[in-house]
Structure 1
Amino acid sequence: MSERTTGTGEAPPEAGEAPHIPEAGEAPHYDLAVVGAGVVGALTAYYAVQRDPGRRVAVLAHTGRGSGATRLSAGFDTPTGHNPAQRALAARSTALFHKLAAALGDAGRTPVDVRWLVARAHTAALDATLADGGRTLPVTGEQRDLLDRAFPGLAHGDDEVLLSTDPMTAGQPQWLTDRLLDAVLDGPGNTLLEGFRVTGVRRSGGRVELLAADGSRITADRAVIAPGPWALDGPVAAAARERGARVKKVVAFHIMTPPPPDAPALVLEDADAFLLPHRPGGHWIFSITSPDWDRGPDEPLAIDARDRALARDLLARYVPGFLPHLLGGRVFSDCFTPGHLPVVDTVDGDDVVMAIGGSGSGYRLAPAMAEDALNLLDGRTRT
């Protein structure tokens, strides 16, 4: 909690002014409540105070800040989309990330070269997914030499091809979330309530009342619900299910061998998997598509034999030299929505908005999701 907050949601009193003391049973009140302290919630709160520095904002964290999908995200940002709406979101998020970097001095994003391995017949479809008119090119001889050095035993079928695109980015979602929340908490009257698990939202006296699992409550004029993988276990669960949301296990293995300094990422496009050099950890991240649906974040989650078999099969086919280094990894849940298109919409009135459905791409689409959520609340034209 910021040292500048009172813990009640009221702005600190001016010199000589008596502080407001809530009466018995009175809930702290804020202008805006943001449920969720992951990257979407942090961006929503940050944009809110940037638009109106006098707006008092409370961020309510299920456990701690950035402790869900944000903490375990690889932060790989490929500005792509499988439909025009998703491509537009990706392109807008990229532009917003550039603005964040200018405002904060650093958004924790590093360029990374990207190579794609795809069926020759699918190259046109891959080009169609690239935002802002990007296109793929055949790898050069020099690029292929680097791939062979970075990915031992790299191989592919005669019907597959290696392609190159412009550099993309590897981000640090949790680091960015911390920076954003710290900026929010620098504002007087703003607060972060950790361990405030919202179980219900209701209207009371013209205000939005948010109820926690332990009986605590706060009120706000308006609220944004950005619960990440907890979308189906909380105040917008029914609305999320109506829109086809489901939760799914997400798995990323570690390949415990150091990437060369100039190593690119390798996207196995048709397998929906990628190998990303994780230089802070001195290893590779190998993200695969787990087959386990309807696995929520509060369930015991672990990398299992099916996940490992899938990872080994892909490595044996494409990068057999990595097989001895496949050790451990990260596993979590995320909320997926139809078409992998996030849902940003009002819930039972125009004073509550939900922003759900990162679908494994929550970090790279988060700025546009947060902007859309605030536009709905502030009555602005949706971008």
Structure 2
Amino acid sequence: MSERTTATGGAPHFDLAVVGAGAVGSLAAYYAVRRDPGRRVAVITHAGRGAGATRLSAGFDTPTGHNPAQRALAARSTVLFDELAARLGGAGRAPVDVRWLVARENTAALDATMADGGRTRPVTAEQRALLERTFPGLAHGDDEVLLASGPMTAGQPQWLADRLLDEVLGHPGNTLLEGFRVTGVRRTGGRLELAAADGSRITADRAVLAPGPWVLDGPVAAAARERGARVKKVVAFHVMTPPPPGAPALVLEDADAFLLPHHPGGHWILSITSPDWDRGPGEPLAIDGRDRELARDLLARHVPGFLPHLLGGRVFSDCFTPGHLPIVDTAGDDAVVMAIGGSGSGYRLAPAMAEDALNLLDWRTRT
């Protein structure tokens, strides 16, 4: 590890400390180095790279938002993802056609969520036939309609985080500190001191904290709670039947659920909305009977042919905020910025969140 130390040979010192090695943290570190290649950056994680929501994310990027601010973040993130792909020779993203199942009366509301101003349209006879071949037993009520939109993307969040961190660590003086669970950030001697649970310490001029679902168990917990942050369980089942080539995703809009083809794994991902709130990553998490009942009910109503293939899945926690709008703000010190509240959309909003965090941090410290 290459770093500067204090004049007395004390804790290692960095220009910037980034707490969190998931999608938001890795992007913040990457953008920091892009802006200033000489900036010494320490990326800090309590476990390993992308150990939480990033590793288990489905990576489904629908550039939509339920309010203007969220739509603006989604649209900007799409542009930033394209820029990343140009710089890195790819960002681990592939287009996927999307079909929507929504109540007829909610069609206009769905169109209003599209960040790019696009509009859905009724599926064609050919698209309907493909859906029926892809989703066995496809069914919906008379008051529901199937719609098509422009292609969206399926990404690889863990791959991207690793790729970005490799870029950061390729610069002299930068380091990744694993197993360093930050319990406190305080100003001392004109610097920020970040203390770990085991007593280890580093110092930094500035810090970005992007702890994901660990937000309520760390140095910005009080600030996050004041802004209404909570954690909840997130569940995505596996439907163990291979998606055919060119299979579209099916979004069950009114149920806040989707079926996404996962070609690398040879199965489908069925993301549902779990009812379990205030379940943090430090608690035992598992798919339970209520989750399975929700998933089976959705499949029984809409894709009964998938029911025999519903086997296992992934479960984790995420930080949710009021209105599902991420919070990027200073936390007790102008040199400390938190970027939290992906609300299940952390991957698709991560580029804009990371950029906003650095913009705020650089502006605050300059002024």
**Normalised by the size of structure 2, how large is the TM-score?**
0.98
- Report the AA paired with residue 70 of structure 1: T
Shift of the alpha carbon at 1:21? 9.1
Amino acid at match of 2:140: H
Of residues 244, 250, 255 in structure 2, which corresponds to 1:260?
Answer: 244
> 1:348 Cα deviation (Å)?
1.2
**Mapped partners of 1:232, 1:316: distance in 2:** 37
Give the superposition deviation at 1:62: 1.3
Q: How far apart in 2 are the matches of 1:261 and 1:298?
A: 38
Query: What secondary structure sits across from 2:116 in the alignment?
Result: helix
In structure 2, C-alpha distance between the alignment counterparts of 1:50 and 1:134, rounded to whole Å: 32
Q: Counterpart amino acid of 2:353?
A: M
Name the structure 2 match of 1:210. Answer: 194
Specify the SS of the correspondent of 1:379. Answer: helix
Work out the number of aligned pairs and report it.
365
Q: Structure 2 residue aligned with 1:160, among 133, 138, 144?
A: 144
Q: Is the 8 A contact 2:136 2:305 kept in 1?
A: yes
Q: Is 1:114 matched with 2:67?
A: no
**1:262 CA drift (Å):** 1.2
The residue aligned with 1:222 is 206
- For 1:370 and 1:125, the matched residues in 2 are separated by 29
CA distance in 2, matches of 1:308, 1:90: 30
Q: 1:284 corresponds to which residue? A: 268
Q: Paired residue for 1:16?
A: none
State the Cα deviation string for residues 28-55 of structure 1 (Å, max 9, x = none).
0000000000010000000000000000
Q: How does 1:117-196 map to 2 (within 5 A)?
A: 117-196=101-180
Q: Which amino acid aligns with 2:44?
A: L
Aligned counterparts of 1:146 and 1:260: Cα–Cα separation in 2: 10
- Check conservation: 2:48, 2:179, Cα contact below 8 A: yes
Q: Which 4+ runs in 1 deviate beyond 3 A? A: 20-24
Aligned runs of 1:1-383 on 2, under 5 Å? 5-6=1-2, 9-10=3-4, 23=8, 26-379=10-363
Query: Which ranges in structure 1 are unaligned for 5 or more consecutive residues?
Result: 11-19
What amino acid is the match of 1:342?
Answer: P
8 A contact 1:22–1:28 mirrored in 2: no
Q: Judge conservation of contact 2:262–2:268 (CA < 8 Å) in 1.
A: yes
Gaps of at least 5 residues in structure 2 are none
Alignment check: 8 A CA contact 1:267 1:273 kept: yes
Separation in 1, partners of 2:225, 2:233? 17
Partner-residue secondary structure (3-state), 1:131: coil
Structure 2 letter corresponding to 1:352:
V
Amino acid at match of 1:68: G
Identity, in percent, stands at 84
Q: State the Cα distance separating 1:294 from its structure 2 match.
A: 0.1
Q: Residues 54 and 347 of structure 2 are in contact (CA less than 8 Å); yes or no, is this contact kept in structure 1? A: yes
The answer to whether the 8 Å contact 1:288/1:311 transfers is yes
Secondary structure of the equivalent of 1:133?
A: coil
Distance 1:168 1:21 in 2: 49
Which letter does structure 1 place at the counterpart of 2:135?
A: F
Contact map agreement 2:6 2:12 (CA 8 A) in 1: no
Give distance in 1, aligned partners of 2:14 and 2:176.
12
TM-score of the superposed pair, with normalisation by structure 1: 0.94
Task: Give how far 1:350 is off.
Answer: 1.0
Task: Please list the CA deviations of residues 295-335 of structure 1 after superposition, one character each: whole Å capped at 9, or x if unmatched.
Answer: 00010000000000000000000000000000000000000
Deviation at 1:229, TM superposition (A): 0.3
Cα distance in structure 1, aligned partners of 2:153 and 2:6: 48
**CA deviation map 1:103-142 (0-9, x unaligned):** 0001000000000000000000000000021110000011
